[in-house]
Homo-oligomer: A and B are copies of this chain.
Amino acid sequence: MAARTVKLAVIPGDGIGPEVIAEGLKVLEVAASQHDLAIETTEYELGAKLWHRTGETLPDSVETELAGHEAVYLGAVGDPSVPSGVLERGLLLRLRFDFDHHVNLRPVRLYPGVDSPLAGVGPEDIDMLVVREGTEGPYAGAGGVLRKGTPHEIATQDSVNTRFGVERVVRYAFDKAAARPRRKLTLVHKDNVLSFAGELWQRVVREVGAEYPQVAVDYCHVDAASMFFVNQPARFDVVVTDNLFGDIITDIGAAIAGGIGLAASGNINPGRDFPSMFEPVHGSAPDIAGQGKADPTATVLSAVTMLDHLGVPEAARRIEDAVAADLKTRAQSGAVRSTSQIGDDLAARVAEQG
């Protein structure tokens, strides 16, 4: 019997979601069992199908059940048949907000053997950790519409930033930066234009930074940072930024590190008041769903972040090493494998290392 059991809520979701989640679980379970950890999964059918059937995105009773787990593992939700925003706001963002996932953790790393669209860059140039705020900023949902449908219509969209919210994510980012070899933290914002929010972020970074004299602090406007991700990615180690800027730059990060098929993320509640949620950055890709064409690697890498969060770093490194080895051979062999073949290969590699 395993020494510890983790109750994991699984939301396979739509499109390729169920396919990639199946492989993620396959690999996760092998790694966990090697470290005396049992994963007890409960599956929840949320997403486009539920919405079409019932009009609901996240029934309160389901949210309560989810809250009873240690972590949530999510594939992808979304379908062209559902209006834009319904599942994003009604499910994904609702969970991020209700479960207080104030750290949205997104590693951006170019693994050896992976092709970057950038010419002449290698793994040593792209190795950063983006710490995106996850529970406020322009994602607060604040705003409104006046005189809708008339020539005098006004729509506002308000970014809400609190000392409390900014400080906790900045502190988290400094902790991460202090634990990495380069010990560098870059704040990305746009304080020359968004002066109210920008000044708060700058001040908090200055104040919290005083407690971390070993960490070098840099600042970059979001427009310049977006450019540097493309032409000087090696500038960055840990990046801390607001919810919307983080959304944008992590997609650039995904692009330069070989594409959205490899980008993992963790929506983290560091205090564990609620379960954290781990998901690939990619969407449900309905165009390739059900064909075994999806790359489950981003979902597998999201399990790495999960295991780190659950305090089982050895198991996390196992999976990460397996992924790194797999990506390296991929470049050499060039063979096309199905979603489940990639999952099998990764699981086998994890098992071998055991």
Contacts and interface: CB of A to CB of B under 8 A. Distances in A.
A161 interface: yes
Interface in A216-271: 222-224, 226-228, 230-231, 244, 247-252, 254-256, 259-260
A163 B152 contact: yes
Interface in A174-204: 190-200
Nearest to A87: B192
A154 B160 CA distance: 7
A247 B225 CA distance: 12
18 contacts: A85-B191, A85-B192, A119-B119, A138-B138, A145-B199, A145-B200, A152-B164, A154-B160, A154-B161, A155-B197, A157-B158, A157-B159, A157-B194, A157-B197, A190-B244, A223-B247, A224-B251, A227-B252
A134 to B, nearest CB: 12
A212 interface: no
Nearest to A115: B119
Interface residues of A, number: 65
Contact of A231 (B117, B119, B222): B117
Interface string A104-121: 000000000001111110
A156 interface: yes
A162 interface: yes
A150 interface: yes
A139 interface: yes
Contact of A143 (B197, B230, B248, B250): B197
Given A93-B193, A138-B193, A145-B196, 20 more contacts: A88-B193, A117-B118, A118-B118, A138-B157, A143-B158, A145-B200, A150-B163, A151-B163, A154-B162, A155-B196, A155-B197, A155-B199, A156-B160, A156-B161, A157-B159, A157-B197, A226-B248, A227-B254, A227-B255, A230-B252
A199 B89 CA distance: 14
Contacts of A197: 143, 155-157
Interface of A: 84-85, 88-89, 93, 115-120, 138-139, 141-145, 147, 150-164, 190-200, 222-224, 226-228, 230-231, 244, 247-252, 254-256, 259-260
User: In the assembly, how many copies of this chain are there?
Assistant: 2
Contacts of A160: 154, 156
Given A163-B151, A247-B223, A192 B255 contact: no
Contacts of A117: 118-119, 230-231
A160 to B, nearest CB: 6
Contacts of A251: 223-224, 226-227
A153 B158 CA distance: 16
A159 B156 contact: yes
Contacts of A89: 192-193, 195
A143 B160 CA distance: 9
A158 to B, nearest CB: 5
A155 B153 CA distance: 25
